[in-house]
C-alpha cells in the first residue's frame, strides 16, 4: 500500500497568529550569529537576503523586540549580530524542540512499523 510513508512535524511559536520562530528562522538567526552578516547567513541557509530581511522584521514587529543589531556601510559594508533577547529566545526554543521530534518518531514507528 505504501511506498515511503513518513511522518513530518513542525513546532513553532506565534504571536497574534503570526509565526515568530520556527526551524527556518532559527537556522537563519544562528547563521547570523556565526557570520555576523545577514547576507552571508541568508546565502548559507539558501534563501535570498530579501526574504531573510522580511523574516527578521516580521519577527521583531510581532515580538516587539529587537533581535538583530545591524551596522550599515563601513569596512566590509556593514554587518549584523544577535541581541541578548534573540539568543535567549533561541535557547528556549531549542529546549522546546529537544525530545519532541524524538517522541514523535518513536510513536510513529511504534504505530506504523
Chain contacts with DNA (rule: CB under 7 A): 37-40, 47-51, 53-54, 57, 70-80
Q: Write the DSSP assignment of 46-64 as a string of letters.
A: T--HHHHHHHHHHHHHHHT
The residue ranges that bind a copy of itself (CB under 8 A) are 1-16, 19-20, 62-65, 85, 92, 95-96, 99-100, 103-104, 107-108, 111-112
Joined together, the cell numbers standing for residue 3 give 511506498
Q: Which does 15 bind (CB under 5 to 8 A by kind): a copy of itself, DNA, none?
A: a copy of itself
SS3 69: strand
Least distance (Å) between residue 24 CB and a copy of itself: 14
Check the CA dihedral 14-18-20-25 and report its sign: positive
Least distance (Å) between residue 111 CB and DNA: 27
Amino acid at each position: 500500500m505504501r511506498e515511503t510513508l513518513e511522518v513530518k512535524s513542525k513546532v513553532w511559536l506565534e504571536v497574534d497568529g503570526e509565526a515568530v520562530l520556527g526551524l527556518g528562522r532559527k537556522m537563519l538567526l544562528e547563521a547570523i550569529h556565526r557570520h555576523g552578516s545577514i547576507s552571508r547567513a541568508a546565502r548559507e541557509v539558501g534563501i535570498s537576503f530579501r526574504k531573510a530581511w522580511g523574516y527578521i522584521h516580521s519577527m521583531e514587529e510581532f515580538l516587539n523586540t529587537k533581535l538583530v543589531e545591524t551596522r550599515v556601510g563601513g569596512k566590509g559594508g556593514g554587518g549584523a549580530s544577535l541581541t541578548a533577547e534573540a539568543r535567549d529566545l533561541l535557547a528556549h526554543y531549542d529546549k522546546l524542540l529537544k525530545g519532541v521530534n524524538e517522541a514523535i518518531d518513536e510513536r510513529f514507528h511504534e504505530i506504523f512499523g
